[in-house]
Amino acid sequence: MPDMTNTPDRARTRFPGISSRAYEHPADRSALVALRSLTGFDVVLRRLSGLFNERAIRLTFLASSVRASENQFHNLYDMVRDAAYILDMPEVPEVYVEQNPAANAYAIGADHPFIVVTTGLLDLHDDEELRFVIGHEVGHILSGHSVYQTMMMILTRLGSRLAWLPLGNLGIAAILMGLREWHRKSELSCDRAGLLTGQDPAAVKRALMKMAGGTRLADMNTDAFLQQAREYDQAGDVRDGMLKFLNLLGQSHPFAVVRLAEIDRWASDGEYLRILAGDYPRRADDANAKVTDEVKNAARSYKDSWERSADPFVGKVKDVADAAAGAAGGLFDKLARRGGDTSAQN
C-alpha cells in the first residue's frame, strides 16, 4: 500500500508515452471511445466549438488575469511544466491565475487548452496539494476532456437562450444530463491523474478534505472522513437513495467524500502501483481501443461498485441496470460483427 504520510518534494516517476486510458474511469473511457468512433462526430464537435470563441476567451484572461511564467507565479508555472513532463504531454498548457475567493480550477479550450486557477484555490492548498490539483487539470487536457467540457458550456448557454420556447430546452436538458454524468466520471478519472502527477496519496486526501471543510486540517481526520463516505453510501432507506440520486443530478463533480473514497480505493488496489512500476497502456496503442471492450469494462466497473454499495436504492435498481448494460454490450457486439470491430483513437 502506498505511503500515506506527507511526502516531501522529490524526484517523481515519469510515464513516457502514457495513454490517458491508464487512469480514466471505465465509464468515462467507454463514453469517450464511443463518441470518437461515431462517423462525423468530429465535424459536429468542431461546428459546436465554432460557437465558442477560444481566442476571445484567451484574450480575456490575458487582459484580466495573471499568466504564470518564470517571472509570475513561478512555483505554479513549474508545477504545470512538471505535470506535463510526468504525463509526457506534447504541449505544456498555459495557466492563468484569476482573482476569485472561491476555490476552483478548470481546463478550457479545444485547439490549445489552458488552465485557470483561482486565488481562492492557491490560498486553500499547500504545494503538494496544489500539485495534485494541477495534475488533475493536466489530466483533463490529456484525455481531451476540455473539448467536451467546452461543448457542455456551449449547450448550457444555448439551453438558456431556448428556455422561452415551450419544449425548446427539453432536448438540450436531456443531453446535458448525460454530459454531466460523464463529467462526474471524468472528475474521478482526473483525480487519478492528479495522484499520478504528485505521487502523494496523503496530499490528495488533504486536498479533498479541504474542499469539503476548509483549511482547518487539525480538526479533521482522514479515517473519520472515510467513515462519512461509508455512512453516506449506507444511509437510510430507498427514499434516501432516491434523494441522493436527485441531489447529484445538478452537481458537476462527485461529492468530496465519494471522491476521497474512490481515490483511496484506487491507490490501494494495485493499479496505481502497477502504473508506477511502468505497467500502463501507451498512446501508440490507442488506435486499437475497442468500443466493445470499453463498454464491457464500464459495465464491469458499475457492477463492482453496485456490489460494494450498501445503498438500498442501488439494490432496487441493480437488476434493471445490469440488464441495460448487457443490452448495450450486445448492441455494440452486433455493430462490430456487421462493420468490423469499431475502434477509435483516444
- Sequential DSSP letters for 248-295: HHT-SS--HHHHHHHHHHHHHSSHHHHHHTT---BGGGGGG-BHHHHH
Contact 162, 109 (CB under 8 A): no
The number of angstroms, rounded, from the C-alpha of 313 to the middle of its chain's C-alpha atoms is: 25
pLDDT at 237: 63
Contact 213, 220 (CB under 8 A): yes
Instruction: Please give the Cα distance from 74 to 281 (Å, whole number).
Output: 32
pLDDT at 287: 77
Q: Which residues are annotated as catalytic? A: 137
Instruction: Please give the Cα distance from 233 to 58 (Å, whole number).
Output: 41
Instruction: Please give the Cα distance from 312 to 233 (Å, whole number).
Output: 9
pLDDT at 29: 73
Instruction: Please give the Cα distance from 210 to 204 (Å, whole number).
Output: 10
Buried b / exposed e along 192-211 (16+ C-beta atoms within 10 A): bbbbbbbbbbbbbbbbbbbb
Grid cell at residue 330:
450486445
Question: Distances in Å between the alpha carbon of 241 and those of 43, 159, 180?
Answer: 40, 29, 19
pLDDT at 174: 58
Mean pLDDT, contiguous 10-residue spans, the chain (346 residues): 43 94 81 57 55 78 97 97 95 96 90 93 97 96 78 62 52 60 83 97 96 94 92 71 67 84 92 96 81 56 50 48 50 51 43
